[in-house]
Every structure is written in C-alpha cells, then in structure tokens.
Amino acid sequence: MIATTTPADRSAYQLLNNEFQNMAKLSDKYVELRKNLTYVAPDALQNDDLNRRLIACGHALGAMAANGHFSDDTSCH
C-alpha cells in the first residue's frame, strides 16, 4: 500500500490513478474493436490520441519519480 502523506503525494497518486484508468479505456477500446471484428490498422496505436497521452503521462510520471518532485502534467488528466 502507498502512503500519501503530503499534498504532492496525493496529487501524484491522482495522476497515477488517472493513468491506470486511461490504460483501461484504451484496452477496452481495442478489445471491443476486436470483439466486433473491426479492422485495426497496424499503426492504430501510433495514431491514437489516448495512447499518445498515456505515453506522455508515463514519461512525466517517470520524471517525477526520478527527481522526487511533483509536477502537474496535463497529459495525465
């Protein structure tokens, strides 16, 4: 379990939670496309805005973890 004791900890936790929720949305989207036998182009993820935001947010969260300082990043909202 993670202890969120400071306002920065709580804010970072919220961004991390948003990242996981967005990952679930992206996964659900492609599972549904597959379930409906909808064609998915090989480069679909590269052109998917949600996937781009997930990658950007992941980089931002990694930078926060590396430097130990919270920084609000709009890609994580």
| Total domain count, the chain | 1
Residue 73 located in a structural domain: no
Q: What is the pLDDT along the chain (77 residues), one digit of tens a residue?
A: 566 788 988 899 999 999 999 999 999 999 999 999 999 999 999 999 999 999 999 999 999 999 989 999 999 98
Indicate whether 17 belongs to any domain: yes
Structure-token match 């590396």, residue found: 66
- Which pLDDT score is estimated for 20? 97
- Determine the structural domain holding residue 30 and report its residue range: 7-68
2 belongs to a structural domain: no
Q: Does a structural domain hold residue 1? A: no
pLDDT at 9: 87
Residue 76 domain flag: no
Rounded Cα distance, 3 and 35, in Å: 39
Q: What distance in Å separates the CA atoms of residue 39 and residue 61, rounded to the nearest whole number?
A: 32
- The pLDDT value recorded for residue 5 is 83
